[in-house]
Amino acid sequence: MTTVLVTGGGGQLGYELTEQLLQSDFKVAAPGHESLDITQSNEVESVLRELMPALIINAAAYTDVDGAEEHEKEAYAINALGPKILAAQCSALGVPLIHVSTDYVFGQLTGQPHPERETPRPGCAYARTKLSGEIFVRRSGCRHLVVRSCGLFGRRGRNFVKTMLRLGQTRDSVQVVADQLCNPTPARALAEALVQMGQVLLTPSFERYDVYHYAAQPACSWADFARAIFQRARELGLLDHEVKVEDISSAQYHSAAVRPNDSRLETMRCSAVFNLGMPHWQDYLDEVLLQGQEP
């Protein structure tokens, strides 16, 4: 049975990847940080030589966007040095790597979804560290895919959907940024896509190692995403009152990190190469909302 190593197995994407890989008849090793620290080269080499996986999917990441402003060194270790170490070991052992990255590498406003060929201009520490990780993977010489996605929300872990549900259960109104556009993307949908991409990557004839964008549709503002969450939560009986979303600007949302005003991703390349359709995020709201509020 083919073994796939999923780093960051304890996160929301790692959880979904494990489920999808098992359903696709792969043998899965999905250690969390406590079992595999990707910033330690000797540890990574030991695990890879023991497991001898056919494929590695790197879902490990430092995702505290505001925290990275004060702890950029820690974020860099996980988001940049970790992928560098993984890619170097993959190159040495001939193992292909799928590295998951983020829309945040695009800090600029262009008025249209960002294509893969666009030059990234990260606007915060988190984005800088994630872009460095991409660069290390691409320069490593290993067979790789770098897959950027946007606005992940899943059944496990913390995310925007669960945060809105928690706030809505105790408030009549919530202020949400209305001038930042994104593609909210279900973690389960991304996991399904990564498994399919991995199956293609493992075919002997595949040579299109590159950066790809995968993101759900339609794009929307964070404020409109919140409205959809509250409406569906009421329909499911999870809220017993209407929650008003008050639009605010990015300038009014006080945070340590500068967030992109337009995170929309162009996904045509991914669709064409891997024959993937982009999901509708509304179809996944129920399963996330019904998991209960954020822990």
Catalytic residue among 126, 212, 214, 284: 126
Radius of gyration of the chain (CA): 19
Between CA 203 and CA 273 the distance in angstroms is 13
In the residue annotation, 126 being an active-site residue is answered as yes
Between CA 114 and CA 234 the distance in angstroms is 34
Adjacent-strand bridge partners of 149: 102
Tokens representing residue 69 in the block = 């402003």
List the one residue out of 24, 25, 31 whose CA is nearest residue 57: 31
Q: Which residues 6+ apart lie within 8 Å of 138 measured at CB?
A: 144, 146, 211
Cα 248 to Cα 25, 64, 85, 219, 243, distances in angstroms: 47, 22, 41, 18, 16
Between CA 151 and CA 181 the distance in angstroms is 10
Tokens representing residue 19 in the block = 């489920």
Between CA 179 and CA 149 the distance in angstroms is 19
Name the phi and psi angles at 158, rounded to 5: -90, 140
Q: Which active-site residues does the annotation give?
A: 126
